[in-house]
Structure 1
Amino acid sequence: MVQNQLLNDMHTDLANVIGRWVTREGDSSTPIENLLFFRRDASTAPCACMVEPSIVFVVQGAKQLLIGDQFFAYDTQHFLLNSLDVPASSQVLNASPDRPCLGLVLKLDLRVIAELITQSKLPAPCEHTMNGSTALGTMTPELLEPFCRLLALLDDPCAIAVLAPLIKREIHFHLLRSDLAARLWHIASVGSQSHRISKVIHWLRENYAQPLSIDELALHAQMSSSTLHHHFRLLTSMSPLQYQKWLRLNEARRLMLNERLDVASAAFRVGYESPSQFSREYGRQFGVPPKRDIAALRFQTNTIEEASSSGNY
């Protein structure tokens, strides 16, 4: 009972800070490196996103992450931990204008985790087989308290450069003592299958426009092609080819929306040889052809901007 009240008080404090920082719906960077805030004023349908290695807290409301056929619902009692760059869909389950869904994202530093594992006297967790890149952990005061101190630095900007790295290191230490410690040990261990898949994902993100050879990718990961395919799907819920296609289509969408490239130019830029093939795969991914999708997104963006400028958003 005492722990629940302590957690409630901490969440209230964090919600007040995030609410002051993010006054409109959306995501917001902060002066603290790798720390992001988010605010949603209503429940939403699933929205496609790329989830980076990170820890995600909801301090008010509830959200859900969908990866393949897996669902991860989290609220103030549970946090979300993701250990790889994974395409997913994010959905807000509980939010209203009077009580918005508020939370934060802290990107993980796997190098810090590896250093802590090497330097600390923490006992190695029991063997644990990872069935995916994402998991839910139980929120504790020990984990939440350093986040309260980290966010308090926003009111003392001169202290951020000195104290934020120390507090973030402490947060990583507490994660290694959480109920998801085994997952972090596994992903940070050089030579593990998860570490090798992480290298493959990094290569794909840097070279998504290049032709994909599974044999060359397996050689890069020092794995057999069948082992690569098996573990890649186990951790990301998709094959390497599907992952590359997701990266290409989403980058093409960004190019058409933000840089106003036409369909053919965007298709060639991300590695497609045929605009018609690109359009077919784009339609399967987003549900509508490229031109119609971009027109709808621009209309939605203009509507939000007009509402915002008139004070109705």
Structure 2
Amino acid sequence: MSKEIYKQQDELAKFIERHTGRDGFHETAIPGLSFIRHSSVTGPIYGVQNPSLCIVAQGMKETLLAQDRFRYGPADYLVASVDLPITGEVTEASADIPYLCFKLEFTQSQILHVLSDSEIRVSLKQNAKRAMFVSQTESFMLEAVYRLVRLLDYPKDIPVLAPLFIKEILYRVLQGQHGISLEQTAIEGNSASRIRDVIEEITSNYDKSFRVEELAEIANMSVASLHRHFKEVTAMSPIQFQKQLRLQEARRMLLSESTDVTDTALRVGYESASQFSREYSRMFGFPPREDIRRLRGKYDQRIKV
């Protein structure tokens, strides 16, 4: 890491620290922008990574997409170009040097606006790329990022300047080594954008059964082609993708609502509670009831501390 980038990362870390002060997820007054802080390493954190750019200003994190492992810290940034069920884990953090992250969510429309106003050449014939990647952070991007976050100290400027700075940040991503992965999901007509349509269908109806032939029709592909392109984009099959969505939502329900295991299994689309429990244990390491008791115990312990 160059001295210039090190200095920029340090300034970004200090700014995030000033605007958070405590652990957790912090939304900001800038639409789509949030900060994340952890003062200790974490166990696996399950969730759906929406289209977003994450820059670690301090600390280190690993994100698991199926069997793909992405490790990134202050020298890197991570991008997800579609909704993806992932497992994240903060691997370097302490009370003195907390994990600090900048997260900027974006839409396909924003990507299209950047492409339409730039000279980036778009190809519809490229094979689908993985919808998650890590790239090296460059000074130009960090300059735009810092200009964006500083608007939090000048809220009257946010409506006018934030869209401009966000556009510049996305332009830098598109110009980067893996920018084509982001470009593909925004441009209609190529295989990646058609897989995006299938992902949206599964995500909106994760609790319903589907036939693979129906998904292939949405993508205007053969079943074999759908499987190949879907796995290339997401690192998993459509069935595996749906299963992860179901189990993550089930865990959220069990933790936040007064519902039993059987009822939860039915609500997320399982016909068999025993199958649900087996797959839940395989994904989270514990049967549903034990897992929720364990999570609540950790939460209660943090409250006492």
Task: Sort the TM-score into its range (normalised by shorter chain).
Answer: over 0.9
Matching of residue 273 in structure 1 with residue 271 in structure 2: yes
Q: Among 137, 140, 144, which residue is 1:139 paired with?
A: 137
Q: With structure 1 as the length reference, what TM-score do the two structures score?
A: 0.91
Whole-angstrom distance in 2 between the partners of 1:211 and 1:219: 16
Secondary structure of 1:179 counterpart: coil
Amino acid at match of 1:210: K
Query: Per-residue CA shift, 1:130-154, capped at 9, x if unaligned?
Result: 5422111121111111110111111
Secondary structure of 2:70 counterpart: strand
Q: Among 85, 89, 114, which residue is 1:116 paired with?
A: 114
Amino acid at match of 1:193: S
**Deviation for aligned residue 1:306:** 2.2
Secondary structure of 2:21 counterpart: coil
Task: Within 5 Å, give how 1:168-179 maps onto structure 2.
Answer: 168-179=166-177
**Deviation for aligned residue 1:277:** 2.1
Matching of residue 74 in structure 1 with residue 72 in structure 2: yes
Q: Which residue of 1 aligns with 2:232?
A: 234
Whole-angstrom distance in 2 between the partners of 1:190 and 1:166: 24
Does the 8 A contact of 1:126 with 1:182 survive in 2? no
Does the 8 A contact of 1:212 with 1:241 survive in 2? no
Q: Among 4, 7, 32, which residue is 2:5 paired with?
A: 7
Query: Per-residue CA shift, 1:55-105, capped at 9, x if unaligned?
Result: 110111221212222221112211111112112221222221101111111
Q: Which residue of 2 aligns with 1:39?
A: 37
Query: Per-residue CA shift, 1:170-208, capped at 9, x if unaligned?
Result: 211222222222222222221111111111111111111
Q: Which residue of 2 aligns with 1:257?
A: 255
Q: Which deviates more, 213-222 or 267-276?
A: 267-276
Q: Which deviates more, 158-167 or 247-256?
A: 158-167
Whole-angstrom distance in 2 between the partners of 1:11 and 1:167: 17
Query: Per-residue CA shift, 1:205-242, capped at 9, x if unaligned?
Result: 11111111111111112111111111111221211111
**How many residues of Structure 1 are paired with residues of Structure 2 in the alignment?**
305
Q: Which residue of 2 aligns with 1:158?
A: 156
Whole-angstrom distance in 1 between the partners of 2:135 and 2:191: 22
Change (3 A) 1:196 1:128: closer
Q: Among 96, 99, 122, which residue is 1:98 paired with?
A: 96
Task: Within 5 Å, give how 1:178-217 maps onto structure 2.
Answer: 178-217=176-215
Whole-angstrom distance in 2 between the partners of 1:200 and 1:301: 36
Q: With structure 2 as the length reference, what TM-score do the two structures score?
A: 0.93
Change (3 A) 1:160 1:299: same
Q: Percent of counterpart pairs with the same letter?
A: 37
Q: Which residue of 1 aligns with 2:302?
A: 304
Does the 8 A contact of 2:152 with 2:158 survive in 1? yes
Amino acid at match of 2:285: G
Change (3 A) 1:41 1:170: same
Whole-angstrom distance in 2 between the partners of 1:11 and 1:189: 32
Does the 8 A contact of 1:56 with 1:79 survive in 2? yes
Q: Which deviates more, 37-46 or 126-135?
A: 126-135
Q: Which residue of 2 aligns with 1:311?
A: none
Does the 8 A contact of 1:125 with 1:181 survive in 2? no
Amino acid at match of 1:119: D
List runs of 5+ in structure 2 lacking aligned partners.
Answer: none
Does the 8 A contact of 1:128 with 1:183 survive in 2? no
**Deviation for aligned residue 1:128:** 5.9
